[in-house]
A = this chain, B = another copy of it.
Amino acid sequence: MAGNTFGKVFRITTWGESHGRGVGVIVDGCPPRIPLDEKIIQQDLDRRRPGVGPTSTARKERDRIKILSGTLNGLTTGAPIAMMVENRDVKSSAYNEIKDLYRPGHADFTYQKKYGIRDWRGGGRASARETVGRVAAGAVARKVLSMKSISVIAYTLELGGVRVSSIDLAEVDKNPFRAPDRSAAKEMGKQVSKIKKAGDSIGGIVEVIALGVPPGLGEPVFDKLDAELAKALMSIGAVKGVEIGAGFEAARSLGSQNNDPISTDGFLSNNAGGILGGISNGEPIMARAAVKPIPSIEIEQLTITTDNKPAQISVKGRHDVSAIPRINAVCEAMVCLALADFHLRQKAIKDF
């Protein structure tokens, strides 16, 4: 109800603020006897860590995950899995001077209106630091899915206007932008440097693929697999658009172009992005997320103070130039969480 919970059977609840004591998550509903330890979680967490890529902030969190409950001798027990990362490198003083200003593009204004109180220290609950809990929980979901041979990978389709021209999954982990196209990655690097120098920020597009998803996942009508994926991705702070399969291209297509013909060996194309009527059809699930530019920029912007006086703001602090590539890990986590949940939901009614 208060927005901090995702999933129905495989269900997570996150907590924590940017500059509070820590951030964490409870994973409830994970099947028992799944191998799980802190190393598995840490691996995914390291991919969203600050300070690892060319677009990223100078904040250096060690971000060591602790599993507080729910496992015994390296296996899940069916009990809730509580996990937590302590906040260490916290400099709230840096935020002191913008404490009474609403930062454009941020949630400062809306949180104040909603709650009548606002944790201004580093964005509080609205900070991207909140995604630590998502990624930790996503790692559990990924482990669950891996036992059913389902895998999820996200990569950068576009950054700062540079679009990849080919998809080579083997390339993704080899360049700092997680682009599946080496030469595009180089162009992205040039573009990002230029924008950084200008004190500005930039957006991009992430594509997520899920392989090995069997037919039958997803529920009809409101909880369609594509609907939940759209919610899952759009719930990431910086995402402003979501496409499944052909996405907005489908809006310009004829039925005879957009329908995927069926053969005895499967579908002959995948404009549907692996989903028909909200239910997986056995083809790869394909989703894309439009990522807006990081709102914290050094360039001066018009704003108001919390007591409604005109002001100007230049956000210095330690901020990424783009949410990409770190947001890739979050996109993967959200897709893993949605799929793990649907997998268990389908188990509840299957083979009665």
Considering the complex, give the chain B residue whose CB is closest to the CB of A269: B104
Main secondary structure on chain A at its contact with chain B? mixed
- Bound together, the chains give a CA A261 to CA B256 distance in angstroms of 45
Choose among B161, B231, B246 the residue that contacts A228 (Cβ–Cβ < 8 A).
B231
Chain B nearest Cβ from A102, distance in angstroms: 6
In A168-226, the 8 Å CB interface with B consists of: 195, 200-205, 215-216, 218-224, 226
Does the CB pair A109–B281 fall under 8 Å?
yes
Does the CB pair A264–B1 fall under 8 Å?
no
Does the CB pair B66–A254 fall under 8 Å?
no
Chain B residues with CB under 8 Å of A250's CB are 203, 240-241, 290-293
Chain B residues with CB under 8 Å of A245's CB are 240
Interface residue? A247 (CB, 8 A): yes
Known contacts A104-B260, A278-B3, A278-B235: does B221 contact A114 (CB below 8 Å)? no
Interface residue? A46 (CB, 8 A): no
In A14-44, the 8 Å CB interface with B consists of: 14-17, 20-24, 26, 28-29, 31-34
Does the CB pair A253–B5 fall under 8 Å?
no
- Bound together, the chains give a CA A8 to CA B226 distance in angstroms of 20
Chain B residues with CB under 8 Å of A243's CB are 240-241, 248, 290
- Bound together, the chains give a CA A323 to CA B16 distance in angstroms of 34
Interface residue? A57 (CB, 8 A): no
Does the CB pair A244–B234 fall under 8 Å?
yes
Does the CB pair A117–B75 fall under 8 Å?
yes
In A70-111, the 8 Å CB interface with B consists of: 70, 72, 75, 77-82, 84, 102, 104-107, 109-111
Interface residue? A158 (CB, 8 A): yes
Known contacts A2-B11, A299-B255: does B227 contact A235 (CB below 8 Å)? yes
Chain B residues with CB under 8 Å of A301's CB are 256, 259, 261
Does the CB pair A277–B237 fall under 8 Å?
yes
Does the CB pair B254–A119 fall under 8 Å?
no
Chain B residues with CB under 8 Å of A20's CB are 68-69
Does the CB pair B147–A352 fall under 8 Å?
yes
Does the CB pair A82–B202 fall under 8 Å?
no
Chain B nearest Cβ from A343, distance in angstroms: 9
Chain B residues with CB under 8 Å of A158's CB are 251-252
Chain B residues with CB under 8 Å of A247's CB are 240-241, 290
Choose among B223, B292, B308 the residue that contacts A264 (Cβ–Cβ < 8 A).
B308
Considering the complex, give the chain B residue whose CB is closest to the CB of A244: B240
- Bound together, the chains give a CA A78 to CA B116 distance in angstroms of 9
Does the CB pair A82–B16 fall under 8 Å?
yes
A–B pairs, 6, beta carbons within 8 Å: A78-B115, A109-B215, A114-B218, A195-B254, A200-B256, A201-B255
A-B contacts besides A3-B219, A3-B221, 20 pairs, CB < 8 Å: A1-B348, A3-B224, A4-B28, A4-B79, A13-B13, A13-B26, A105-B259, A106-B277, A110-B279, A110-B281, A147-B352, A200-B254, A203-B251, A241-B242, A246-B292, A247-B290, A248-B248, A250-B292, A261-B302, A344-B349
The 9 A-B residue pairs whose C-beta atoms are closest, nearest first, are A107-B277, A3-B219, A201-B255, A3-B223, A110-B279, A231-B231, A113-B215, A105-B259, A261-B302
